């Protein structure tokens, strides 16, 4: 895949996330994908911030969408190479200050196989 294809996956990711379309979001991921997030570490300490597989991703995002119906991400930049796309975005949710986020999506065979979130 070319870098622009990875950027397209990132754009699809934001579209699915911001409409809280769980099935479209999960369709972008490999069955055994891993996801690391500082929010996971806080909310579910037993995970140490790391979950694996689509069922764990489904549970995590469903909980987030249910708890935070106004949660939205505003992308500010994408940088892609042959293996990953680095995304920067602003996390907005009612009642909380906006947060600058960076996230790396590792992609192979057209699917996200790993994602790592970093908070600014």
Q: Name the token pair of 35.
A: 């996801």
Q: Provide the sign of the torsion angle of the four alpha carbons 41, 47, 64, 12, taken in this order.
A: positive
| CATH classification of the domain holding 82 | 3.10.450.50
Residue 30's pLDDT band, with cuts at 50, 70 and 90, is very high
pLDDT digits (tens, 9 = 90+) for 91-110: 999 999 999 999 999 999 99
Please determine, for residue 26, whether its predicted confidence score (pLDDT) is greater than 60. Answer: yes
Instruction: Kindly report the pTM of this predicted structure.
Output: 0.91
Please determine, for residue 1, whether its predicted confidence score (pLDDT) is greater than 60. Answer: no
Q: Whole domain around residue 71: which residue ranges?
A: 3-119
Residue 37's pLDDT band, with cuts at 50, 70 and 90, is very high
Please determine, for residue 57, whether its predicted confidence score (pLDDT) is greater than 80. Answer: yes
Domain count, the chain: 1
Distance CA(1)–CA(28), nearest Å, equals 14
């Amino acid at each position: 895949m070319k870098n622009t294809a990875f950027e397209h996956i990132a754009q699809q990711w934001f579209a699915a996330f911001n409409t809280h379309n769980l099935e479209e979001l999960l369709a972008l991921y490999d069955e055994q994908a891993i996801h690391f997030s500082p929010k996971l570490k806080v909310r579910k300490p037993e995970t140490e911030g790391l979950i694996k597989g689509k069922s764990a991703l489904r549970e995590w995002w469903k909980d987030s969408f249910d708890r935070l119906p106004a949660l939205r991400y505003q992308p500010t930049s994408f940088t892609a190479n042959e293996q990953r796309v680095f995304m920067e975005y602003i996390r907005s949710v009612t009642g909380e200050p906006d947060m600058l986020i960076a996230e790396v999506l590792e992609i192979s065979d057209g699917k996200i196989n790993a994602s790592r979130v970093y908070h600014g």
